[in-house]
Amino acid sequence: MKKLEAYHDEIKHCIRCGACQAVCPVFEVMEREMAVARGRLRLIREALEGKLDLTDKMRDYIDLCVGCRICVDNCPAKVNTDQIVIGARHKYVDVKGLPFLHRIMLEQILSKKGNFNMALKSLGLARGTRLNKLLPEQLKKKEEILPTIPQRTFVQKMKEMTFDTGAPKKVGFFLSCMDNFMFPEVVEAAIMVLQNNDWDIVIPSDVNCCGAPHHVYGDWETAAKLAKKNIEAFQDAEVDYIITDCATCGSVLKEYGEMLSGDSLELKGKEFAAKIMDINAFLIDVVKIKPGQNKVSQTVTYHDPCHLVRHQKVSKQPREILLAVEGVEFRECNDADRCCGGAGTYNINHYDVSMKILDKKIENIKNTGADILATSCPACRIQLGYGMRRAGLNNTVVHPVELLARSYEQKD
């Protein structure tokens, strides 16, 4: 990955025309220059030119970026602010280390599956015994963001599942932490869809966190370690494609080549990255799915995860999946590709800003009148599910493959 200093020239191409102000979701709710690309770039530039120290305040402003990349898409000079922001966070980690809470989260929880599972199980327990009600008000709100935690993880469930059906083709599947712990039903739906289209699915259960949180918060060392473990986990899979239903995982898995640049595994990282495909794109472009016979009579709208629509340029395929399912009435949502404010743990770290962004999103979704909201990223799903509960709405949030899977379901 490029270090911050390497971006100095690129930053100079920000001529402060202000185009980022027109699109930045954080600026929209905060309306301050520090909360938009040109402000951040200016601060970074001053720091690079020795006119500003790496202060905690500047770090706060850098951290306020959701990383949605909409400013980059809209920047006439094409300045990669999202990458520069990540570079700046890395610089901070380099010089000042990770802040305490990030360190616990990134080093102790997200990189260690057992600990992650235990943390969520403890949350489930706390909720069961209503201990969570005793949390201080600020923390309680943040705890409420998380959905109900399923009894069993996908890895626990998969022991009883059949994967080798003797289908002519097979594809690798990268199991995201979020799906494993929170939404195993999405993986089950993916398996059903693929098996119904004559594809077998290989799911290594020893994969680790994809490294996205570490990467975006500047802990590149841990991110690279995780990348290596994941490449190894797929070593014997013998597949041409590795798919994932998590937009965030997909976007960072595709970066493994660059994340391991200079490492002995760089080439392997590049090969691995080249195999990564979002499940929506894979189903439409490679599998060319045939939907099942069942009618799914629902009105559905779709939210584009930033990590899919802008980081991976996938927006048509999820809609094509929805439209392919018989009975689905698709309703486009206004500003469907705007960030929902979830952005990994942004909603926990910057609760108030995140909620203001979320409220705008929920309003747009509500205006579609759709019963179901589909989206292709578990992090968005958590945020949007919370948004629905906050607004007193009953709409369910699903991944497009779950609706597609319903078209194949056996009727009793």
Query: Measured between alpha carbons, how far is residue 212 from residues 108, 218, 395 in Å?
Result: 15, 10, 29
Q: Which stretch binds another protein (CB under 8 A): 9-17, 143-151, 208-216, 363-371?
A: 9-17
- Assess 33 for contact with another protein (CB under 8 A): yes
Please choose, from the candidates 339, 404, 349, the residue with its C-alpha nearest in 3D space to the C-alpha of residue 377.
Answer: 339
55, 108, 122, 235: which one binds another protein (CB under 8 A): 55
Both tokens of residue 42? Answer: 């200016």
12, 152, 295, 316: which one binds another protein (CB under 8 A): 12
- Assess 21 for contact with another protein (CB under 8 A): yes
Both tokens of residue 274? Answer: 């080249």
- Assess 125 for contact with another protein (CB under 8 A): no
CB of 78 to another protein, least distance (A): 6
- By CB under 8 A, what part of segment 344-373 binds another protein? none
- Assess 405 for contact with another protein (CB under 8 A): no
42, 103, 141, 142: which one binds another protein (CB under 8 A): 42
Instruction: With beta carbons less than 8 A apart as the criterion, state whether 377 and 305 touch.
Output: yes
17, 101, 118, 161: which one binds another protein (CB under 8 A): 17
**Which region holds residue 31: left if phi is over 0, alpha if psi is between -120 and 50, else beta?**
left
Q: Which stretch binds another protein (CB under 8 A): 16-24, 179-187, 327-335, 401-409?
A: 16-24
Cβ closest to another protein, residue 75 vs residue 358: 75
- Assess 13 for contact with another protein (CB under 8 A): yes
Cα separation, 256 vs 231, in Å, equals: 9
Cβ closest to another protein, residue 30 vs residue 380: 30
22, 118, 134, 161: which one binds another protein (CB under 8 A): 22
Cβ closest to another protein, residue 33 vs residue 329: 33
- Assess 32 for contact with another protein (CB under 8 A): yes
**Which region holds residue 249: left if phi is over 0, alpha if psi is between -120 and 50, else beta?**
alpha
CB of 93 to another protein, least distance (A): 19
- Assess 34 for contact with another protein (CB under 8 A): yes
Cβ closest to another protein, residue 18 vs residue 97: 18
Both tokens of residue 84? Answer: 């520069």
Cβ closest to another protein, residue 16 vs residue 313: 16
CB of 56 to another protein, least distance (A): 10
Total binding residues toward another protein, as defined by CB under 8 A:
28
Give the gyration radius of the chain's Cα atoms. Answer: 21
CB of 334 to another protein, least distance (A): 13
Give the x-and-dash track for 59-98 against another protein (CB under 8 A).
--x-------------xxxx--------------------
Cα separation, 41 vs 198, in Å, equals: 49
- Assess 6 for contact with another protein (CB under 8 A): no
Q: Whose structure tokens read 């402003």?
A: 61
- Assess 267 for contact with another protein (CB under 8 A): no
Residues in contact with another protein by the rule CB under 8 A: 12-19, 21-22, 31-34, 38-39, 42-43, 46, 52, 55, 57-58, 61, 75-78
